[in-house]
Structure 1
Amino acid sequence: MELFTIDTILPIASGALFITQAVYYLGLYNKLYTHSRETAYATDINTQNPPLSVIIVAKDATHELQENLPFILEQDYPEFEVIVIYDRPADDCDNTLKLLEDKYPNLYHTFIPDSARYISHKKLGITMGIKASRHEWLVFTEPDCRPQSNQWLKQMARNFTPATEIVLGYSNYEKVPGWFNKKITFDTLLNSMRYLGMAVSGHPYMGTGRNMAYRKTLYYKQKGFVSHLNLQRGEDDLFINETARAHNTRVEASPESLMRIAMPKYKRIWCEEKISYAATSRLFHGTARYLMGFETCSRFLFYTAIIATITISILLHQWTIAAIAVLLWLARFTMQLIVFRKTAKVFGERKFCALLPLFDFLQPAWNGVFKLQRKFRRKNEFMRK
């Protein structure tokens, strides 16, 4: 009689994969929630509110600037400037920014020249903004983003300690009705739990330009974006990947620091962002991307093993093993639901109760599609132009 058969290997594999998933959820994904609770009573914070510069690079975003800039310019912060660099000048944008400058003396703007060729306009715009800034601390966001309170800058600035060079914040899409909105808010929440959780754990590996800050001296020390200047993107995730370390990076996870992103006008805009991320994430240094890939792989294998175990156990009338497999799935779902609900509650996100198993199962599939699309794209599509 064989010791290891398919009906014994599958339950063992299911148990091992359940333990793997538990390590990720309790040891990593739960970090963002626990960090937000701990920092609510933190004592190692900066209360000086040093002057800072907010830098925004915009393109085809006149309406977004009209809607969102006042929420940034009216922050409850003692001294700050907002610098808008607009790609491809347009009369309506120039007029909008001039009108806002009449009302807000700390707003400044300029345009990326039409003569700029063979260089990423996003990186050029950021560089122009950094060189024009007057302050050491630089805070970055985008024109389609709106802070959810007038304490956003204060919450980010409380992390500006002498040892800190980078501060990573949380952002997610606005909540509106519709399947697509549910899908992308879930995807963004999960990815935030990943990269912010890793940063809290002392292993930062990326950031997003929608809500982050770093020192001007760090930018110059790194020589800007020179190491990936040939790429169209990477001004946020690759730059942070190269410079972030456990000793110089902090995470701001208070509800007051939340940045809410406007829904994309078209679904393809979000898809292009995901494909671009698939192109830059391949270049991450360190083991973080492999650890995240391993979680996705173990999740897929867990579902496969559970379904196979239940199916074979029913066919063989092994009801006890089938019941154990169901209990393993229920235990993982309960653990996942608790972690997601607690984190979602902090940031005012959906709880995803009924949709959680579905999105959890489909998320590796749609990210796999984006990676596949990236492979079929021409290399020069991701190069500066």
Structure 2
Amino acid sequence: MEALTFNTTEQALLAAVGILFIIQLLYYFCLYNRIHTRSRAVKRSDVHFSQELLPLSVIIYAREEVENLRRNLTAVLEQDYPQFEVIVINDGNTDESEDYLTLQGEKYPNLYHSFVPNSSRYISRKKLAVTLGVKASKYDWLVFTEANCLPESDQWLRTMARNFTSRAQIVLGYSGYERGKGWLHKRVSFDNLFNSMRYLGYALAGKPYIGIGRNMAYRKELFYAQKGFSAHLNLQRGDDDLFINKTATAENTRVETDANAVVRVQPVNRAKDWREEKISYTVTAHFYKGMQRYLSGFETTSRLLFHVAWIAALVIGILNFHWLAAGIAFLIFALRYTMQVLIINKTAKDLGEKRRYYFTLPVFDILQPMQSLRWKSHCLFRKRNNFLRK
């Protein structure tokens, strides 16, 4: 009977582990499993799609990226789609981008290009570039991506466009990283997958709050109705997430997660580049409206506390030779790990990801909330002007 008796510390820790496990369970099944649930619904033909392939404009932002354009632009121009144009806005003129785009324009009559004036100041150059692309477009539906993104297939535009229903004004897609080598790329890929499960999960739950400009679409009339990016012109970022945060609703937003609609981003080679990107997103997150930001923060906190609680209960159980207490703590961890493996890897498969997460999953699961705290701490020690367009 002594083995069934728990001291006060063990009771408190096991109760905390149990409560935090239930919280995590709710997040995984009610939020993170949404993409897989939708994929199954599409296979059952339970999701309504438009049968009309409306003409569209693809707008690509390029910042002196002639090599990326050479590598990726042809795949966009040769999409299997009846009527579309491609508009490339080049930010900078110190490389061969303009010459390359001029040559490609002779081969592809639906390719147009322009540039951001060097004299532009006090406004984000990317926001200005996107605005120029929108104003130059001929069609109402605008599809956005970037020069370092490669469509997964020639059905990218068709798959995105099947969501252009009469009620839809925004379509959010998935952008994943091409498979690379090394620990850094594994971290970046997992972080991208998990955050996509989060923001696309909220959108599928009828609570959209952000989008990523590497793969999304919206109507031109929506852009003009919201006066473009006028609310945050001085911020370096926010052309995608802040705009969607301001305009997206349950009624006007659809999500496309088919593997054919995915675009692949080139692997990150420098930790510094990834860090700066994450810090920029952390800064703009302060401007998000809605409870999703706080709910996401609560999940991150509960996850970190779960790991602290189960490890503490395991260690104390072992030190006290109370194997039942240690076993319960480990069993709850194992149940959560099994749930994670199933949901995350099924979602990765639905999205066409080649990488799976098994042994690295617990490591990344602990690292991610710690990284989140790191990005926030970086913001505290930087001046606000660092994130404004000068």
TM-score, length of structure 2 as denominator length: 0.96
Q: Distance in 1 between matches of 2:266 and 2:66?
A: 14
Unaligned residue ranges in structure 1 (runs of 5+): none
Change (3 A) 1:43 1:326: closer
Residue 364 in structure 1 maps to residue 369 in structure 2: yes
Q: Deviations over 1:300-322 (max 9, x none)?
A: 10001101111112222222121
Q: Deviations over 1:199-222 (max 9, x none)?
A: 000000100000000000111111
Q: Distance in 2 between matches of 1:84 and 1:329?
A: 49
1:314 maps to which of 301, 315, 318: 318
Q: CA deviation at 1:43?
A: 5.0
Q: Distance in 2 between matches of 1:42 and 1:108?
A: 38
Residue 164 in structure 1 maps to residue 164 in structure 2: no
The corresponding residue for 1:49 is: 53
The corresponding residue for 2:380 is: 375
Q: Distance in 1 between matches of 2:102 and 2:51?
A: 33
Q: CA deviation at 1:379?
A: 0.5
Q: Distance in 2 between matches of 1:289 and 1:342?
A: 25
1:278 maps to which of 267, 279, 282: 282
Change (3 A) 1:201 1:4: farther
Q: CA deviation at 1:4?
A: 8.2
1:53 is paired with a residue of what secondary structure? strand
1:30 maps to which of 19, 24, 33: 33
Residue 86 in structure 1 maps to residue 96 in structure 2: no
Residue 140 in structure 1 maps to residue 144 in structure 2: yes
1:13 maps to which of 3, 13, 16: 16
2:359 maps to which of 328, 343, 354: 354
Q: Deviations over 1:130-155 (max 9, x none)?
A: 00000000000000000010000011
Q: Structure 1: which amino acid aligns with 2:81?
A: Y
Q: Distance in 1 between matches of 2:387 and 2:271?
A: 20
The corresponding residue for 1:106 is: 110
- Does the Cα contact within 8 Å between 2:41 and 2:47 map onto a contact in 1? no
Q: Distance in 1 between matches of 2:275 and 2:31?
A: 26
Q: Higher mean Cα deviation, 296-305 or 263-272?
A: 263-272
Q: Structure 1: which amino acid aligns with 2:373?
A: G
Q: Deviations over 1:293-345 (max 9, x none)?
A: 00000001000110111111222222212111110000000000000111111
1:198 is paired with a residue of what secondary structure? helix
The corresponding residue for 1:296 is: 300
- Does the Cα contact within 8 Å between 1:207 and 1:240 map onto a contact in 2? yes
1:162 is paired with a residue of what secondary structure? coil
Q: Distance in 1 between matches of 2:106 and 2:344?
A: 44
Q: Distance in 2 between matches of 1:66 and 1:179?
A: 28
Unaligned residue ranges in structure 2 (runs of 5+): 1-5
Would you say how many aligned residue pairs link Structure 1 and Structure 2? 383
The corresponding residue for 1:222 is: 226
- Does the Cα contact within 8 Å between 1:310 and 1:326 map onto a contact in 2? yes
Q: CA deviation at 1:35?
A: 1.1
Q: CA deviation at 1:60?
A: 2.0
TM-score, length of structure 1 as denominator length: 0.97
2:172 is paired with a residue of what secondary structure? strand
2:277 is paired with a residue of what secondary structure? helix
Q: CA deviation at 1:275?
A: 0.5
Q: CA deviation at 1:91?
A: 5.6
Q: CA deviation at 1:265?
A: 4.2
Q: Structure 2: which amino acid aligns with 1:31?
A: R
Q: Distance in 1 between matches of 2:247 and 2:289?
A: 10
- Does the Cα contact within 8 Å between 2:61 and 2:89 map onto a contact in 1? yes
The corresponding residue for 2:3 is: none
Q: CA deviation at 1:77?
A: 0.3
Q: Distance in 1 between matches of 2:241 and 2:290?
A: 13
- Does the Cα contact within 8 Å between 2:89 and 2:133 map onto a contact in 1? yes
Q: Distance in 1 between matches of 2:193 and 2:95?
A: 37
Change (3 A) 1:43 1:202: closer
Q: CA deviation at 1:229?
A: 1.2
Q: CA deviation at 1:267?
A: 2.4
1:172 is paired with a residue of what secondary structure? strand
Q: CA deviation at 1:85?
A: 0.6
1:181 is paired with a residue of what secondary structure? helix
Q: Deviations over 1:67-96 (max 9, x none)?
A: 100000000000000000111124611110
- Does the Cα contact within 8 Å between 1:89 and 1:112 map onto a contact in 2? no
2:114 is paired with a residue of what secondary structure? strand
Q: CA deviation at 1:246?
A: 0.5
RMSD: 1.2
Residue 245 in structure 1 maps to residue 249 in structure 2: yes
Q: Distance in 2 between matches of 1:104 and 1:328?
A: 58
- Does the Cα contact within 8 Å between 1:140 and 1:209 map onto a contact in 2? yes
Q: Distance in 1 between matches of 2:371 and 2:134?
A: 36
2:63 maps to which of 59, 63, 71: 59
Q: Distance in 2 between matches of 1:218 and 1:107?
A: 24
Q: CA deviation at 1:257?
A: 0.3
Q: Distance in 2 between matches of 1:381 and 1:283?
A: 16
